[in-house]
Amino acid sequence: MDDRIATTLRDDPTMARLIDRHGPLAIAPASDEFARLCTSIVNQQLSTASAAAIHGRFVDELGGDPTPDRVLAVDEDALRDAGLSGTKVEYLRSAASAFRDGDVDLTREGLADRSDEAVVDELTAIRGVGEWTARMYLIFALGREDVLPLGDLAVRKGIERVYNDGDELTRAEMREIGEAWRPYRSYGTRYVWAEYES
């Protein structure tokens, strides 16, 4: 995290405390966007521990890091035996088809000139990729610096814990809190996650 990001975030005294507690956190593009999308799909609605275990078995079944060809070639029953639901297997195969055969290049280079909302629209056209997964892709696959994924329960609970002593906030109130972090809301989000998970 460079000085200009830290300076912007530290204008919010609460965020300044989180930076001091958790140290520098990075937002960087993934080396493999498709593999990152697979991780998000596997992780949907799972605890961190369950997701990690199932993801490990998923990669084992593929015989290496996820590629569209590997996901489309692997036996579906083997993926279900690895702990993936039939629905998630279908979602992973849809994503693989979109990456391999789709009209739009879904890599960072292919999406470089698209707005965040345009990227979300492209991704949510893929069966099984909802708003949450698309926002995770913006942050963790594309390395976009100004994303506030309020569809993520941990982000909402984390903001409530850090900014409102755990009491409920509306999404509008959360967006207002996040305004102080612009244009680096992805970094603010990472600090909220770090605090929520600590």
Which residue in 166, 140, 136, 173 sits closest to 151, CA to CA? 136
Whether the per-residue pLDDT at 117 is higher than 90: the answer is yes
Contact 190, 9 (CB under 8 A): no
Tokens of 106: 């879904």
Q: What is the pLDDT of residue 100?
A: 95
Torsion, Cα 157 149 40 89, to 10 degrees, reads 90
Query: Which pLDDT band holds residue 50 (cuts at 50, 70, 90)?
Result: confident
For residue 111, count CB atoms less than 10 angstroms from its CB and return exposed for 0-12, middle for 13-18, buried for 19 or more. Answer: buried
Mean pLDDT of the chain: 94
Q: What is the pLDDT of residue 43?
A: 86
pLDDT digits (tens, 9 = 90+) for 136-166: 999 999 999 999 999 888 899 999 999 999 9
Query: Which pLDDT band holds residue 84 (cuts at 50, 70, 90)?
Result: very high
